[in-house]
Amino acid sequence: MNNVATPMPISNGAIPAPIASRANLPSGLHRACLAAKVARENKGDKVEVFDLRDITTEFDFFVLATGASRRQVHTIVEEVDAAMRAAGDTRMGVNGYEASKWVVQDYGDVMVHVFDPDTRDYYRLDEVWADAKPVDWEKEID
């Protein structure tokens, strides 16, 4: 008897595509630094990366960046996603895109936050996660 699981058809009769493996992705540190680099290249301000591996099991790295306008926030978000896709990653979720005050992109072990200036000053995630280890992403990416 064959012990290999066969995908079950979904309600419309189609068989879902297999879920891509994340095992071949560059490390979370590399992808976080890549996201930071792309944010900076797109004129993101106060770009920071934090290592949260010793603090939480929910994710490993935070990337924080500030865009000066709604258009710039969108550009940073879209360009980061394009770079992450080029690295083989898939965004699992995005929230806040329409309002563009605080857009968060979920890449599993890497969370990318892009704020407008007032929202970043209000929430101060870098202070909320003050126990996180800052990453010198410019040094890491070279």
d(CA 38, CA 35): 5
Contact yes or no for 94/77 (Cβ under 8 A)? yes
Average pLDDT of the segment spanning 70-85: 97
pLDDT in tens, 78-126: 999 999 999 999 999 999 999 999 999 999 999 999 999 999 999 999 9
50 confidence band (pLDDT: 50, 70, 90): very high
How much is the pTM?
0.82
pLDDT > 70? residue 18? no
- For the chain, domain boundaries: 28-132
d(CA 27, CA 66): 24
| 3-state SS, residue 47 | strand
Give the E-state strand segments of the chain in sequence order. Answer: 45-51, 61-66, 93-95, 102-106, 110-115, 133-135
Decide if domain 28-132 falls under CATH 3.30.420.40: no
Structure tokens at 137: 């992403």
pLDDT of 2 reads 42
pLDDT of 23 reads 62
